[in-house]
Amino acid sequence: MVSLMQGRLPINQDVLLMQKGMLVRKVRSKSWKKLRYFRLQDDGMTVWHARQAGGKAKPSFSISDVETVREGHESELLRSLAEEFPLEQGFTIVFHGRRSNLDLVANSVEEAQIWMQGLQHLVDFVTSMDQKERLDQWLSDWFQRGDKNQDGRMSFPEVQRLLHLMNVEMDQEYALQLFQAADTSQSGTLEGEEFVEFYKALTKRPEVQEVFENFSADGQKLTLLEFVDFLREEQKEGERASDLALELINRYEPSDSGKVRHVLSLDGFLSYLCSKDGDVFNPACLPIYQDMTQPLNHYYINSSHNTYLVGDQLCGQSSVEGYIRALKRGCRCVEVDIWDGPSGEPIVYHGHTLTSRIPFKDVVATVAQYAFQTSDYPVILSLENHCTWEQQQVMALHLTEILGEQLLSTTLDGLLPTQLPSPEELRRKILVKGKKIQTLEEDLEEEEEEEVLESQLEGEQEAKPELEAQFESEPQELSPRSKDKKKDKVVMCPPFCTPICCQIMVQAPSSKPESLLFPKQKSKPIMCPSLSALVVYLKAVSFHSFTHSREHYRFYETSSFSETKAKSLIKEAGNAFVQHNAWQLSRVYPSGLRTDSSNYNPQELWNAGCQMVAMNVQTAGLEMDICDGLFRQNGGCGYVLKPDFLRDIQSSFHPERPISPFKAQTLLIQVISGQQLPKEDMTKERSIVDPLVRVEIFGVRPDTTRQETSYVENNGFNPYWGQTLCFRVLVPELALLRFVVNDYNWKTRHDFIGQYTLPWTCMQQGYRHIHLLSKDGTSLHPATIFVHICIREGLEGDES
């Protein structure tokens, strides 16, 4: 199988040394550190490991599983073992999805560099692969699994075993016939390209050929005009069909002669249908395509709850890895629970539980490093501050010193705003959300007074020696230097006071200015002024009622709601909640009863316009599929513009009772076929899946529904359904679709195989492939389902 990737693999000295194998130490904890022999296989795409060189090896990971490789000093675990192992010899393999990192320690710095550089070299190659190269790699992985004795060729018994692994139930005589046809060398085994030909024979697509022949006059090719007709009539590409047809032929037709003649062969047609252009997700929605200049409260914001946890809420591990993963997957609001720690250093953990602790300064440093790797749009630090006054000072110091220019510590122009700034205005800025001593107006007023005071003090510096001498010779009364305009309260200070003294006064809360002045103070304020000053546009306030918020709160003040409270408010006063969220930010968090870090469905809260619906992103499942589905659009930047009826402070929309003028639509989905569906449990070699497809719609309550096909018995490789499902949707602007493939099992209510979720507004019509994702959100390439989608205006059966 080496020949399949040969000539395309980027072989260098590091890769060659990795293929020879190397003994490294695998580290799982401070107490679990064991030597293992790791070796890159000859295909250059999979790494196996054994307890020792020459020992029984088993697969460890595929290069396509790897997201990146980090140096040893970036690993919390390896840093904790720095006295035992030099950090320069350590490195961390980071995988896609939620798979745990793999920490390894080499025997020398040189060996560590070989693996770090070699792995990253291969990862970069895999990332840049085109469609054909990805398929070749997938075949190479399967060949490695099927070639049980690892001799580089496959006998017929090995092929039979592989067919079961690949979910193919096939008559033995027919399988042997395909095997012998592919064995052109007549060696009794399949190697390299012979295996590819065997695979092609298995994966013929009669349903695609039927569509092709419906538009092809001669059944051999699509002319430019025939392809334009297909794009216009079936794919609903409209006026751009003519230009698009030529562009797609040049992109997907494999033969140069076909490109010159402007025709598309069946292979080119299939390549188009399997590509991003033939995907169910509209490519126009992949980059940032929305208006990013509206106020923050007009956007849904990808938000994380208890971000520091990578496990449950009671005994789970706290780790900066939680922040890295959340930020890299597009979260723009992360939560930090801060408590007093040892040696005067604040710590982060889930209070009053057995979760582990991490230093606050490490969290801030991690946010500084990863905040804008995925998106340039602003990151919100939602602080749950439980610290004493002294450690709040330390928090403020870490935030200002570590974040530096990234931290937004005053309004953008120094003036009092009339609305929240936009994501565009806040690019690459980190905002602090938390409690604040006073209002933004008072902050800006004090800044003005401070500037005036500083200019006065500069003029008084020359007279200072004379004043000091006069003060020493005669008793002087204290003179007024500043005045609290709100309460007409005079603050006294001696005439020889320094600028530092006056700065302390103007920074003190107006209600208790004397609490920070002189030793006679009896108590300290609960909130530290230096930390309070870092909260600018996101002041946390308690929610009492929507009327109270309108009468007493300002647009830059934000309230948090438990999921239970928020859902109750939607039922009791759904329209008032919508109007509230049109001018003020809301954050919703999971119930405290979710100690297992489970999630709630965010859709119900989005329907009311709630912007920051915080999720336990470490927990995979339906709810995170919905969250990922919404934020898959707009460049994955973490901000999605709400529909216009959720941005209007006089909106009449009620999420529980949606009525006109919303444009209802009818959706017809023909579920045609499936391709290369994986097994949930790869250890069950003899079992074959019985797949069915379920289509779920999430939106306003009347639109939330599901339908499913019947199941196909014993065929996960190329099942055919050919069934049509019909949905009627009142508010398509809020709807998300989730396509789920399950293995029919009447005992367990079906076993999950794969899914894909996307917004209704990002769905393409026509013949489309849906590329399935795992439960963890990672690609199951090349597993797909083939569908035909048609959207009609209005509700079918309506005469309106």
Q: Which residues are known catalytic residues?
A: 305, 350
Residue that the structure tokens 């923050």 belong to: 296
CA distance 158 to 176: 12
CA distance 646 to 638: 18
φ, ψ of residue 174 in degrees (nearest 5): -70, -40
Query: Could you identify the residue written with the tokens 């550190």?
Result: 33
Identify the sign of the CA torsion 433, 438, 442, 446: negative
The identity of residue 706, as a single letter, is: R
CA distance 736 to 602: 11
Euclidean distance between CA atoms 198 and 184, whole angstroms: 11
SS3 category, 21:
coil
Tokens 């290069």 belong to which residue?
63
Q: How far is CA 122 from CA 47, 67, 398, 750, in A?
A: 12, 11, 38, 37
| Mode of pairing for the β-strands spanning 347-348 and 333-339 | antiparallel
Taking the C-alpha atoms of residue 612 and residue 586, their distance in angstroms, rounded to an integer, is: 6
Q: Tokens 């070796």, residue?
A: 39
DSSP 494: -
Placement of tokens 């005469």 in the chain = 799
d(CA 297, CA 274): 38
Which burial class, exposed, middle or buried, applies to 519 when counting CB atoms under 10 A from its CB (0-12, 13-18, 19+)? exposed
**What values do phi and psi take at 443, rounded to 5?**
-60, -50
CB-based contact 381:334 (threshold 8 Å) = yes
Write out the two tokens for 81: 């073992």
Buried b (16+ CB within 10 A) or exposed e, 729-763: bbbbbbbbbbbbbbbbeeeeebeebbbbbbbbebb
Looking up tokens 């408010």, which residue turns up?
Answer: 569
SS3 611: coil
Backbone dihedral region for residue 74 (phi beyond 0: left; psi -120 to 50: alpha; all else: beta): alpha
What is the helix (H) or strand (E) element at residue 162, kind and residue range? helix 156-165
3-state secondary structure of 179: helix
44 alpha-carbon distance from chain centroid: 29
Backbone angles phi, psi at 91, to 5 degrees: -155, 160
Place of tokens 């569509």: 211
For 374, which DSSP code?
A: S
